[in-house]
Amino acid sequence: MESATVSAGVVVSGNTKEAKEMKGVKEAKEAKFPEMKEAKEAKAVVKVNVPGFFMQDLDSTNSATFDYVASNFGLLDTFDVPSIDSRDLEKRDHDDDDDDDDDDDDKDEDDDDKDEDDDDKDENDENDEKEESTKKAPWKEFKKAIKKLNKKAPKGTSYKVLYLARHGQGYHNVAESFYGTEQWDCYWSLQDGNETSRWDDAELTSIGIAEAQKASIAFKDQIKTGFPIPEVYYSSPMSRAASTLDITWRDITLNKDSTPAPIFKEKCRETLGIHTCDRRNTKSYLHTKYPNFVFENGFAETDELWDPVYREPNDVRNIRLGKALDEIFAERREETFISITAHSGAITSILEVIGHRKFGLQTGGVIPVVVKVEYDATPTPVTSVSPS
């Protein structure tokens, strides 16, 4: 029987030839994707999904038919979180709960409360008011719950809420649907376009624009009922993601001087390599097209990550997105509500990294997640290398 040892987080068989081959694959991947090696050396952040707040956590929720708009983004009427006593939340004074909130969300809520007072005076709207009040309660209770979790958290631990948004439909999505996935992967994804459209760094289609507008309307409706407004916005530097973020938030928060500029984050991109739709434009182009966005430190002028002949494996993408979260959480220790606009593959990796159940998003879809973050934790080594 061959013996097996564990070296650098990789199981190596006693067979010398097999061991050398595995080592060669591992070294080749680390050379092509430095983030694999960096992930072992960097000080990791433990990040774990906290279920019990949203329908998307439930096995009974079907992602293929789920409507985030009709379901209030999936927020549950009652929370199933062991560390939170709902009775305690009900006893807490609303004013005390909002003392430390200085963002525009509270200003909007104050305006809504004034409107509610006016509505209370109108007896003809009594039934509508009761119905509206019922819908408002969950978001206010949600904010209380998150605040309580952070207040009770030990030093070095905090709770974050991520709004993960997938870009609206792009021309590459239309092309893959038209040609079929097999022809797309084998040929058309390598092209810049066809005789009718281009999809290198794919732009939004008219449907994609409408999906972003739909998200904007949905956020506006939820904000009226106490939805916590993002305190910071991150975007993949691909045009379809940036345009989706801009359309969604431009007349909600991005038009206010107090709102921080959205940040282009390189590690939030879709799966890297081969597909031209995932090859980004230059920094200069992005600056011209999205003048209200800013770039993270070290953002390169040209795309240094995309490779025309090598496709990023899913496990390496997971490492990249995990590191993206580490950086975001390190940069945003004080912020709780964070918006990230990205891609199907990127969001799939984020969900996997935090231990959330698989949940696919349609183009233009949004999924909120609550994440427990533990800082200054011991790094977790890479434990496997998948074939490319």
Q: How far is CA 298 from CA 32, 59, 294, 301, in A?
A: 19, 40, 12, 9
How many other β-carbons are positioned within 10 Å of the β-carbon of residue 128? 11
Query: Catalytic residue at 182?
Result: no
Residue of 30, 167, 176, 343 with catalytic role: 167
How many Å apart are CA 105 and CA 142, to the nearest integer?
14
Residue of 270, 275, 312, 343 with catalytic role: 270
| Three-class DSSP category at 272 | coil
How many other β-carbons are positioned within 10 Å of the β-carbon of residue 130? 9
Report whether 295 contacts 263 (CB < 8 A): yes
* Amino acid in the structure at residue 253: T
How much is the CA Rg of the chain, to the nearest whole Å? 23
Query: Catalytic residue at 287?
Result: no
Among 17, 333, 368, residue whose Cα is nearest residue 158: 333
Q: For Cα atoms 192, 195, 201, give the angle at the middle one, nearest 5 degrees.
A: 25
- Active site amino acids: 167, 270
